Amino acid sequence: MNKSITTNIIALMATLIGYVSQQHLIFTVGLFALSGAITNWLAIHMLFEKVPGLYGSGVIPARFEDFKLAIRQLMMEQFFTKENIDRFLSSRSGTAAPIDLSPIIEKVDLSPAFDSLVSVIENSSFAPMLAMVGGTEALQPMKEPFIEKMKVSIQDITQSEQFSALLRDELEQPDMIANMQEKVRDIIEKRLNELTPKLVKEIIQAMIKKHLGWLVVWGGIFGGLIGLIAALTNNF
């Protein structure tokens, strides 16, 4: 059962039992516990929902533009700074961080490279010799081995320290980093523009409302303790 509801029910039952049985101590403890629990529950509710007549309620959906601005500033000023991008492109030792391009290379169609090679041979002095052995059709069995060898060679090149250094130097050019930041900013901006007050409320509720239930529990506990102290001191 929901922690908030459970706390309020227990406090209400203690209040009713104390009232019916005319037990002043139980009644006071229950009443103070109920007061603390309901007050905290109402405060949590007012974070997310507008309550007519209560100024400041519904603060999260009402200030969702500030929420969006805070996310934008957090992402751009704390994560995607020039220093962080440079750190991402470098290894801990300060050398160029290797970038694994193998998955991309595997997906690249290198057939045009083979076709270009065949075209070069056709237009070279080897063309007559090629015609004697069957023309360009004789080269077709070499296509797949050629593509496989090309992929391996390209992967070896891209994994070399020299290539990583050249790629890093190019990516670290001021214009390139600024362009990367601009693209990231555009992505964040577009995503934030899709947010609505209702969606912002649901996002925050999903993150913290479950844990805010403990505020109601502790409100009931501390309220009950204050009620106990009040009941005991009232006898003096």
Partners of 90 in beta bridges: 96
Considering the domain boundaries, does residue 125 fall inside one?
Answer: no
pLDDT of residue 128: 76
Phi then psi for 96, rounded to 5 degrees? -65, 130
Q: How confident is the model at residue 63 (pLDDT cuts 50, 70, 90)?
A: confident
Considering the domain boundaries, does residue 127 fall inside one?
Answer: no
Q: How confident is the model at residue 99 (pLDDT cuts 50, 70, 90)?
A: low
Beta-carbon contacts of residue 81 (< 8 Å; ≥ 6 apart): none
pLDDT, tens digit (0-9, with 9 covering 90-100), for 178-210:
777 788 888 888 877 877 877 777 777 777 766
Considering the domain boundaries, does residue 147 fall inside one?
Answer: no
Q: How confident is the model at residue 35 (pLDDT cuts 50, 70, 90)?
A: very high
Considering the domain boundaries, does residue 71 fall inside one?
Answer: yes
Residue-range definition of the domain harbouring residue 174? 3-100+159-233
Considering the domain boundaries, does residue 106 fall inside one?
Answer: no
Around 139, how many Cα atoms within 13 Å sit in the side-chain half-sphere? Answer: 20
Q: Do 79 and 42 contact (CB within 8 A), yes or no? A: no
Q: Name the nearest CA neighbour of 90 among 153, 171, 149.
A: 171
Considering the domain boundaries, does residue 93 fall inside one?
Answer: yes
Considering the domain boundaries, does residue 196 fall inside one?
Answer: yes
Average pLDDT over the chain, rounded to whole? 79
Indicate the number of domains in the chain. Answer: 1
The model's pTM is 0.50
Retrieve residue 189's tokens.
Answer: 């901006």
Determine the average pLDDT of the residues in 89-116: 71
